[in-house]
Structure 1
Amino acid sequence: MSLINVTNLTFAYEGSYDNIFENASFQIDTDWKLGFSGRNGRGKTTFLNLLLGKYEYSGNISANVSFEYFPFHVENKKNNTLDVISDSFPDYIHWELMRELSLLKVSEDVLYRPFDSLSNGEQTKILLATLFLKENSFLLIDEPTNHLDRNGRKLVSDYLKTKSGFILVSHDRAFLDNCVDHILSINKTNIEIQKGNFSSWWENKARQDNFELAENEKLRKDIKRLSDSAKRTGNWSHEVEKTKNGTRNSGSKVDKGYIGHKAAKMMKRSKSIEQRQQSAINEKSKLLKNIENSDSLEISQLAFHKNQLAELNNISIFYGERMVCADISFTIEQGERISLSGKNGSGKSSIIKLICGEDISYTGTFRKDSQLQISYVSQDTSHLQGNLSDYAAENGIDESLFKSILRKLDFSRDQFEKDISAYSGGQKKKVLIAKSLSENVHLHIWDEPLNFIDIISRMQIEELLLEYSPTLIFVEHDSEFCENIATKTIEL
C-alpha cells in the first residue's frame, strides 16, 4: 500500500480564465478500487492527464507508483494481437496473460489474429488484461464501457471487482456499484472521496442536499427578518437625525448634540444589524454549493392519427450474403418505449436504419405510415461543428428551447460561445439529445444515446421519459436505464 498525495492542485487550460481545479487537496490509497464521478466537462479526463504528467500545473502530486492509462495507443493495429501486447509490455509472462484472458473469457486464438480484426469488446479486454499484468502500476481506466454490450459490461465489471489499484471513469451505475469500493467525485465547488460504491455515495449526497435545502430555507427566513429589522432601524435613525433641524414641542431650541448622539447610536445599531445580515448572507453562500442543476426537462411529442406507427413481421436483414438478424417481429404503438437488446453485431442498429428509411436489404414485411415523423440520434458525433445558434438554424429547431435543454443538462453559458467540435464526448451527445427533444416528431429513435453522458444527466433524461411518455425506440447498454425506461424489450 502507498499513497497518492494531491496538494493545492490548481489548473486551467491556456487562454481560459476559469480554473478547472483550484487548491484541491486529497489522498488516494493505491489499494482502492476508485470510481470517478462528475458531470461532463468538470475535469475527469483532465485530472487523469495531470496524473500522467501531460500538463503543467501548480500545487503538488506525489506518488510511488507508475500510472498506466486505458485505452493506451496501439501504434499498428494490423499487427497480431500478441505483438501488440509485446510492444506495450515486453516483459510479460505468458501464463499470467492466459490467466487474465481466462477471467475475461477471451479465447487464446484471439492472440494470433490482427488486432484490428477483433471486436471493440475484445480489444477492450485485451488492453485491460495487458495493463493489469504490469506490477507497481496504478491504472487510470477511462470509460471502458463505451464499446461493450450488456453482457460484456457485466464480465468486465466482475473482472475489475477482483482487482485493486485503479481509478475508473464510468457513467454506468450498475457497472460502478459492482466493482468499486470508493468514489472520487468532482463536485461544483470541491473534490471529495467517500468510501462505498456509487449508490451509497448518491444516497449520502441526496441526504446532504436535503439538509442544505432545509437549512437554506431557515436562513432565507432569517435574512428577511434581519433585512426588515435593519430597514426599520435605518428609518428610525434618519427620523431622529431630522429632528436636529426642528424644534421641541415647548418651542425651545432642540439640543442638536443630544439628538446627534442619539442618531449616531441608532445608526450604529442599524449598521450592526446590517453586518449581521451580511454575515447571514455569507453563511448562506456556503450552502447549496454542490447541489447539481437537475431541473426537469420538457418535450411535447406530436400525436399520431392512429395508434400503430409501424410493424415489422419476420424481418431478416442482410449485408451482401451475410445475414445479421433473422425473423424479427414487433409493432410500434404510441406511448411505447421499446428497448432493442442483444450482443454487439446482432442487428440492433440495422433494425433502426430500416425503420428510419435507409436503404437496407431485407426480407419479410415492414410497414410504416408515410406521414410518420422521426427524430434520430446516432452513435456518431464526429460531424458536429460550428456554433449552437447556427446548428439550431440549420436543423430548423427553436434555438431558445434547444439552449434551455442544454442549460438544464449542465451546459454553462460560456459553452454556448464555443465551437461544438471543441466539446467533450458527453457534451456532444447532449447536443444530439437536445436537438432530438426540440424536434416536432411522432417517434424518437436513439442509438446508444448515453455514451459519455454523466450519470446525473442520465437520471434527468430518465425522469423526462417517464413523465412525458414519448414513443421511443432505443439501443442502450446501461442496464439500469433500460430497466427503468423500457415498456417493451425486443431481444435480437
Structure 2
Amino acid sequence: MSLIKVTNLTFAYDGSYDNIFDRVSFQIDTDWKLGFTGRNGRGKTTFLQLLLGKYEYSGTISANVSFEYFPFHVTNKDNLTVDVVADIYPDYEHWQLLRELSLLKVSEEALYRPFGSLSHGEQTKVLLAALFLKENCFLLIDEPTNHLDLHARKLVSNYLNSKSGFILVSHDRAFLDNCVDHILSINKTNIDIQRGRFSDWLENKQRQDSFELDENEKLRKDVKRLSEAAKRTSNWSHEVEKTKNGTRNSGSKVDKGYVGHKAAKMMKRSKSIEQRQNSAIEEKSRLLKNVESSESLKIAQIAYHKSLLVELDRLSIAYGEKTACRDVSFTVEQGDRIALSGPNGSGKSSVLKLICGEDIPHSGSLRIGSQLQISYVSQDTSHLRGSLTEFARSSGIEDSLFKTILRKLDFSRAQFEKDIASFSGGQKKKVLIARSLCERAHLHIWDEPLNFIDVISRMQIEELLLEHSPTLLFVEHDSEFCNRIATKTVKLKN
C-alpha cells in the first residue's frame, strides 16, 4: 500500500480566468477501487491528465507509483490485435493475457484478427486486459462503459470488482455500485472522498444538500427578521433624538441628557442587530456552495392525431451479406417509452435511423404515420462546432429556451461564448438533448443519449420523462435509466 498525496493543487487552462482546481488537497490509497464522479466540465479528465503530467500546475502531487491511462490510443487498427497489445505492453506474458481475456469472455481467436474488425465492446475488453497486465501501476480508467451493451457492462463491472488500485470515471450508477469501494467527487467548490459505494455517496450527498437547503431557509428568515428589527430600532432612535430640541406635552423642558442617552442606547442596539444580521448573511453565504441544482426540465412534444405512430412487421436489415437484424416486429403508440435493447451489432441504431428516414437497406414492412414529426438524438457528436446561437438558429429552435435548458443542465454563462467543438463529451451530448427538448415533435428517438452525461443530469432527464410521459423510442445501456423509464422493451438479437 502507498499513498498519492495532492496538496494545494491549483490549475487553470491558458486563457481561462477561472481555476478548475483551487488549492485542493486530499490523498488516495493505491489499493482502493475508486469511483470518480462529478458534473460534466468539472475537470475529471483534466485531473487524470494532471496525474499523468500532461499539464503544468501549482501545488504538489506526490506518488510512489506510475500511472497508466485508459483508453489507449490505437494508431493503426489494421494491425492484428495481438500486435496492438504488444505495442501497449511489450513485456507481457502470453498466458497472463489469456487469463485476463478469459475473465472478460474474449476468445483467443480475437487476438489474430485485425483490431479494427473487433466490435467496440471487444476492443474495450482487449484494451482493459492489456491495462491490467501492467504491474506496480495505479490505473486511470476513463469512461470504459461507452459502446458497451448491458451484458458487457455487467461483465466488465464484475472484472473490475476483482481488481484494485484504480480510479474509474463512469456515470453509470449500477456499474459503479458493483465495482468501487470509495468515491472521489468533484463538487462546486472542493473535492471530497467518501468510503463506500456510489449509492452510499449519493444518499449522503442528497442528505447534505437537504440539510443545507433547510438551514438556508432558516437563515433567510433570520436575515429578514433581523433586518426589520434593525430598521424599527433605527427609526425609534431617530424619533427619540428629534425630541431633544422639543418640549414635553406638559410644557416642561426636555431632559436632553436623558433623551440623548436613550437615543444612543437604541442606536447601539440597532448596531448590535445589524452585526447579527451581517453574521447571519455571512453564514448563509457559506451554505449551498456544493448543492447541485437539478431544476425541472420541460419537453415540447405535441400530440399526434392517431394512437399508432410507427409499425414494424418482420423487418430485416442487411448490409451486403451481413445481416444486422431479422424479423423485427413492434409498434410505437402514443405514450409509449420503448427501450430497444440487444447486444452490440444487433441493428438497434440501424432501426432508429430507418424510422427517422435514412436510406437503410431493409426488407419487410415499415409504416410511419403521415406527417409524423420526429426529434432525433444521435450517438455521434463529432459534427458539433460553432456557437450555441448559430446551432440554435440552424436547428430552427428558440435560442433563449435552448440556453435556459442548458443552464438547468449545469452550463455556465461563460460556456455560451465558447465553440461547441471545445466542449466535453458530456456537454456536447447535452447540446443534442437540449435541442431535442426544444423541438416540437410527436415522437422522440434517442440513440444512447446518456453517453458521457453526469449522474445529476441523468436524474433530471429521468424526472422529465416520468413527469411529462412523452412518446419515446430509445437505445440506452444504463440499466437504472431503462428500469425507471421504459414502459416496454423490444429485444433484438444478432
Q: Please report the TM-score for the alignment, with normalisation by the length of structure 2.
A: 0.97
Query: Match of 1:215, SS?
Result: helix
2:164 is matched with 164
Within the alignment, does 1:38 sit opposite 2:54 as a pair? no
Moved more, 260-269 or 423-432: 260-269
Measured in 1, the distance between the counterparts of 2:360 and 2:230 equals 74
Measured in 1, the distance between the counterparts of 2:13 and 2:444 equals 37
Query: Match of 2:376, SS?
Result: strand
The gaps in structure 1 that reach 5 residues or longer are: none
Aligned residues: 492
1:92 is matched with 92
2:344 is matched with 344
How far residue 77 of structure 1 moved from its aligned partner, in angstroms, is: 2.5
Measured in 1, the distance between the counterparts of 2:78 and 2:261 equals 91
Within the alignment, does 1:239 sit opposite 2:242 as a pair? no
Query: Match of 2:72, SS?
Result: coil
Within the alignment, does 1:48 sit opposite 2:57 as a pair? no
1:144-159 equivalent positions in 2, closer than 5 A = 144-159=144-159
Measured in 2, the distance between the counterparts of 1:256 and 1:70 equals 82
1:204 is matched with 204
Moved more, 327-336 or 257-266: 257-266
Moved more, 335-344 or 266-275: 266-275
Amino acid of the residue matched to residue 375 of structure 1? S
- Give the share of equivalent positions with the same residue, in percent: 78
Measured in 2, the distance between the counterparts of 1:198 and 1:319 equals 41
Amino acid of the residue matched to residue 280 of structure 2? A
Moved more, 449-458 or 7-16: 7-16
Measured in 2, the distance between the counterparts of 1:99 and 1:6 equals 35
Moved more, 439-448 or 89-98: 89-98
Within the alignment, does 1:426 sit opposite 2:442 as a pair? no
Amino acid of the residue matched to residue 427 of structure 1? Q
1:93-112: CA deviation from partner (whole Å, max 9, x where unpaired): 11111111110111112212
Within the alignment, does 1:363 sit opposite 2:363 as a pair? yes
Measured in 2, the distance between the counterparts of 1:211 and 1:286 equals 13
Moved more, 257-266 or 424-433: 257-266
Amino acid of the residue matched to residue 243 of structure 1? T
2:67 is matched with 67
How far residue 265 of structure 1 moved from its aligned partner, in angstroms, is: 2.8
Measured in 1, the distance between the counterparts of 2:392 and 2:399 equals 5
2:262 is matched with 262
1:191 is matched with 191
1:115 is matched with 115
Amino acid of the residue matched to residue 469 of structure 1? S
2:182 is matched with 182
Moved more, 299-308 or 440-449: 299-308
1:258-302: CA deviation from partner (whole Å, max 9, x where unpaired): 544433332222111111011011111222221111011111311
The gaps in structure 2 that reach 5 residues or longer are: none
How far residue 253 of structure 1 moved from its aligned partner, in angstroms, is: 5.6
Q: Aligned-residue CA RMSD in angstroms? A: 1.4
How far residue 250 of structure 1 moved from its aligned partner, in angstroms, is: 5.4
Query: Match of 2:451, SS?
Result: coil
Amino acid of the residue matched to residue 484 of structure 1? R
2:444 is matched with 444
How far residue 252 of structure 1 moved from its aligned partner, in angstroms, is: 6.0
Query: Match of 1:410, SS?
Result: coil
2:382 is matched with 382
Q: Please report the TM-score for the alignment, with normalisation by the length of structure 1.
A: 0.97
Structure 1 residues 245, 55: closer, same or farther in 2, change over 3 A?
farther
How far residue 191 of structure 1 moved from its aligned partner, in angstroms, is: 0.9
How far residue 89 of structure 1 moved from its aligned partner, in angstroms, is: 1.3
Measured in 2, the distance between the counterparts of 1:474 and 1:298 equals 18
Measured in 1, the distance between the counterparts of 2:269 and 2:206 equals 40
2:135 is matched with 135
Query: Match of 1:138, SS?
Result: strand
1:441-479: CA deviation from partner (whole Å, max 9, x where unpaired): 100000111100001101110110111110010011111
Query: Match of 1:444, SS?
Result: strand
How far residue 320 of structure 1 moved from its aligned partner, in angstroms, is: 2.0
